Amino acid sequence: MSTKELKKNNIIENALKLFSTKGFYNTTIPDIAKAMRMSVGNMYNYFASKEELAKYAIKYSTNILAEQLRKINHMDISSKEKIFLFTKVYLENVKNSPEVIEYFLRVYLSNREVFAQGCEGFLCVSEFVTEVMIFLDEGASKGEFREQDFFSAFSMIMGCLGGFAFLSGEKVLDKDLLEYSDGIAENIFRALKSDETT
């Protein structure tokens, strides 16, 4: 990675924290510059606008998940074990860098207008969606998952995980986040499994 890329990622990490707590519109470029101890002018050398930064940030944050899921996809384990593993990894992300998931939930999903151009559909999250496709395709071709529509399967996984991240962000959970991991994974697995799989 070039120094410019590294710096960009560094800005993103700071911006994610601000975006996910203050929201997209309440966070300004000077806010981010301040958190970075950088001049506002220098910030513009990396991102031409706040919108551009927001789009880069969504790619950055979903690519973290994509990479983790890709590793799991490459493992020689059952689809059930993959679900348990991915759920755990996902919740660890929520616990250790809540801003990444929060950004997705609070900015990407609720400020669609910011992403309308240049991030249409899967454009900015495609690496992650592809990994979910590979995961589902392999599970179904091995007969571990039953046939169903892609989007109903996709939203089963992501809706479940995203919803849980939301509960965690709202601080309504009474136990440690990771203690829920196997229970959630079990639910996802049951929703996807073929009737023959136990």
Partner 1 sequence: MRQHKPKIVWLQAITCNGNTHSLLSSNPSRFELLLNSFNFFYHPSITTENSLEDVLNLKEIDFLLLEGAVTSNKQFYQISDNSINDLLKKVSKKAKYIISVGSCASYGGIHAKFEQNSDIKGLQDILNVWELKKLKQPIINLTGCPVHPEWILQTLFTLKEFGKIGLDMQGRPKDIYFGLAHHGCTRNEYFEWKIEAKSFGHKEGCLFYEEGCRGPMTHSNCNRILWNDVNTKTRAGMPCIGCTEFDFPRDNMLETKKNIGIPSEVPLGINKRAYLTITGVAKTFKIDRLNKKLIE
Q: Are 144 and 197 within 8 A, CB to CB?
A: yes
With binding defined as CB under 8 A, does residue 147 bind partner 1?
Answer: yes
Segment contacting partner 1 by CB under 8 A, of 43-51, 124-132, 159-167, 173-181: 124-132
CB of 71 to partner 1, least distance (A): 13
With binding defined as CB under 8 A, does residue 113 bind partner 1?
Answer: no
Measured from the CB atom, the residue of 154 and 166 that comes closer to partner 1 is: 154
With binding defined as CB under 8 A, does residue 25 bind partner 1?
Answer: no
With binding defined as CB under 8 A, does residue 94 bind partner 1?
Answer: no
With binding defined as CB under 8 A, does residue 78 bind partner 1?
Answer: no
CB of 30 to partner 1, least distance (A): 34
Measured from the CB atom, the residue of 74 and 171 that comes closer to partner 1 is: 74
Q: Which residues lie closer than 8 Å to 185 by C-beta, 6 or more apart?
A: 83, 84, 86, 87, 88
Measured from the CB atom, the residue of 154 and 180 that comes closer to partner 1 is: 154
How far apart are the C-alpha atoms of 120 and 131, rounded to whole Å? Answer: 18
How far apart are the C-alpha atoms of 112 and 90, rounded to whole Å? Answer: 23
